[in-house]
Amino acid sequence: MPQTIERTEATRAPQRAERPRLSRSAMQAKARAVVLGAAALFVLAQVGLRGVIEEARPELRDPTFEIKARRYAALKSQISPAQASVLFMGSSMTVFGVNAAAVDAPASQTLGRPVVAYNLGVAGSGPFTQMLFLQRLLRRGAKPDFVVLELSGLCFSHEDPFGEMKHFPGQMLSRHDLDTVTRYSPDADEVYRDWLEAYLVPMHGHRLTIVSQTAQVFVPPNDRLELWENLDAHGWRRMPVPSREEHARVLKNVTMTFEPQMARYKVGPAQMRAMRELGELLVRERIPTLLVWMPEGPLMRSFYSPEAAQRLQSAFERACEEHGFPLVNARAWLKEDAFWDSVHMTEAGGSAFTERLVREALVPWLQTSSQSLKR
């Protein structure tokens, strides 16, 4: 029996030796190392993401502009180096109203070289937005050969002089945008703070734009950004034709929304200031420019008083005369059934408008402008 006990005890696994306890100073040093390592990893992640945004993926900062700009550049790269580009710039009226693909063939025939046209319209874009977008294109060497610029009363209203600013919070700006935006913003300090925070900590500052493009399902519908689904290769988004009942319902809502607002319509001085600066930029860069007063339906046109319509026309004419730009007044070119809501053209309306614009204005203007550039 004693022998059995001895054998059992002999076969037991030896007890593990106790680990020596770390001293207080050693534990503190280890904790510091962990914290410093995490901090270094965090900083490296921020620096890496900032480099990716600045050099390769600017759409992580501002997808609304950058996605369209990248597609414009890709389209241009498919044509020979001797090509010319015609860039349409404007608001959602341009997004839905300009079938840029229909411009390529007649423009190429007119200029005697390949031409690619692109619709760079973005919802809510007035002269300030168009100026900022053009500056971005020029900085990256994507200068258009010709620009067709939208004019519309809705983008020049005095009631919302800084409405375009909501499209440019600090976190969606590059450092090159800051000067232009802060000169127009009612709160330049806030814009700069938001930009600096996003620049230093891009994972936080650009979280919405990053998640929107990687896992949009997690973004609330009201916070989702324009990522340009359902565009054709030339940047046009086709608007479906509404049913008769739907059209009547939409026009009723349009009347309730816009009739009171347009009754007190005045041209906004802030927008005219931006228009003047945009015109100076286009002249300085020697970019031939055609201004187009976009079509509106009879209902929308009826909301302007005769005096307001005349003031708006005079303002547009002065802008053209100041910089030597021709003006196409296409405001009354289309009937109501060519629009979804008396403002945004349907697919049929956009096709009809583009065809007429090319035939009556664009081709003659391209001929004259190309001859002037050769002098």
* Domain annotation for the chain: domains and CATH numbers: 57-374 (3.40.50.1110)
Tens-digit pLDDT profile for residues 43-98: 888 888 888 898 889 999 999 999 999 999 999 888 777 789 999 999 999 999 99
Q: Nearest 5°: CA angle at 94, between 88 and 95?
A: 105
* Largest distance between two CA atoms of the chain: 119
Using N-to-C axis directions, what is the helix angle for 63-77 and 207-214, rounded to 10°?
A: 60
* Two tokens, residue 303: 């909301």
Note whether 295 and 351 are within 8 A (CB): no
Sheet holding 327-329, edge to edge: 115-119, 84-89, 146-151, 289-293, 327-329
Residues of the chain with pLDDT under 70: 1-20, 22, 161, 372-375
3-state secondary structure of 215: coil
Residue 121 to residue 92: CA distance in whole angstroms: 6
For residue 265, the model assigns a pLDDT of: 93
- For residue 11, the model assigns a pLDDT of 52
Q: How far apart are alpha carbons 165 and 182 in whole angstroms?
A: 10
Cα–Cα distance, 18 to 93 (Å, whole number):
77
Residue 80 confidence (pLDDT) = 73
Please name the residue ranges forming H helices in the chain.
2-11, 24-55, 63-77, 92-97, 104-111, 127-139, 178-184, 188-200, 202-205, 207-214, 244-263, 269-284, 298-303, 306-323, 347-357, 363-374
Determine the 3-state secondary structure of 245 from DSSP. Answer: helix
